[in-house]
Amino acid sequence: MRGQPGRSVTSRVLALLDAFTPASPALTLSELARRTGLPLSTVHRRAAELLAWGALERGVDGRYRIGLRLWEVGSLAPRGLGLREVALPVMEDLYEVTHENVQLAVRQDDELVFIERIAGRHAVPVLTRVGGRFALHATGVGLVLLAYAPVGVQERVLAAPLERYTELTVTDPGRLRRCLAEVRRVGYAVSDRQVTMDALSVAAPIRAPEGVVAALSLVVAHDRADPVALAPLVQAAGRVLSRALGGAHG
């Protein structure tokens, strides 16, 4: 990025915001300059504007963090807002029946974004967070979203390197293609220890008039998981949400 004088003010501001990650949620001005390739003087000026607006906050340690104003704006995203309002009561019901992790995700380009989750008090730990992104090929919700994605999206994912998270992650394109066909055939996905070796997820599609718009899953400890018993629960919740969104649920 360094040495690009033609970059617009907007692209520079977005680059600053994009520099923050879950692994690096707090950054100094020097770190922001290094990550974005922007001059320190530019970073100082733009950070001050973002701070005044509330997009950034500055801690007592002098480091900058994403501000609550961005969360307020992001919560207005129509795909997330409508889905979350409809889905939360159903997710809470599913949690009360199982006391396991319940997750809701949508596809964004070639990745998924978690837009809501309920963590079970004694459930298996998960790597996900609301607003977090993840690959489509490994998780239960990701497999559902990929199985019902446009063919072009599927082919891009299948053609790209598939990251291996555990020894059981499916990274062979041919095998993954068969997995996606099976998801469409049975109407749900099972991801067995593909992300961590202690967890299994079962996911089902959520439909709206335009097609599958989201996926809902239960994530449980592998050693007490029974996918055959869990699948009908997740599918039933998916059908309830699909009806609420006006989608077919066959």
Polymer length of the chain? 250
Instruction: Tell whether 24 and 110 lie within a shared domain.
Output: no
Same-domain status, 100 and 168: yes
User: Both 82 and 47 in a single domain?
Assistant: no
d(CA 221, CA 197): 9
- Say which range, 44-48, 74-78, 124-128, 168-172, has the weakest mean pLDDT: 74-78
| pLDDT at res. 78 | 57
pLDDT tier at 81, thresholds 50, 70, 90 = low
| Whole-number percent of the chain with pLDDT over 90 | 62
Last residue of a domain, one of 55, 73, 91: 73
| Arithmetic mean of pLDDT, 94-98 | 91
In a domain, 249, yes or no: no
**1 pLDDT tier (thresholds 50, 70, 90):** very low
Same domain, 169 and 66: no
My answer on whether 99 and 167 are in the same domain is yes
Does 151 map to a domain? yes
Q: Does residue 250 lie in a domain region?
A: no
CB 32 within 8 A of CB 65: no
Say whether 158 sits in a helix, a strand or coil. helix
CATH number assigned to the domain comprising residue 42: 1.10.10.10
Contact (Cβ atoms closer than 8 angstroms) between residue 104 and residue 83: yes
State yes or no: pLDDT of 5 exceeds 70: no
Residues 68 and 157 occupy one common structural domain: no
Regarding whether 34 and 142 lie in a shared domain, the answer is no
Domain boundary among 73, 93, 127: 73
Residues 135 and 53 in one domain: no
pLDDT of residue 16: 92
Question: How far apart (Å, rounded) are the C-alpha atoms in residues 130 and 113?
Answer: 8
Whether 141 is covered by a domain: the verdict is yes
**Number of independent structural domains in the chain:** 2
* Torsion 84-90-92-97 (CA) sign: negative
Q: Are 145 and 136 in contact (CB under 8 A)?
A: yes
At 50, the pLDDT band (50, 70, 90 cuts) reads very high
Residue 4 has pLDDT above 60, yes or no: no
Structure tokens at 52: 């005044």
φ, ψ for residue 137 (rounded to 5)? -85, -5
Mean pLDDT of the 208-233 span: 91
Res 76: pLDDT: 67
Alpha-helical (H) ranges within the chain are 9-18, 29-36, 40-53, 68-74, 78-98, 140-147, 151-159, 173-186, 227-244
- Domain range for 178 is 78-244
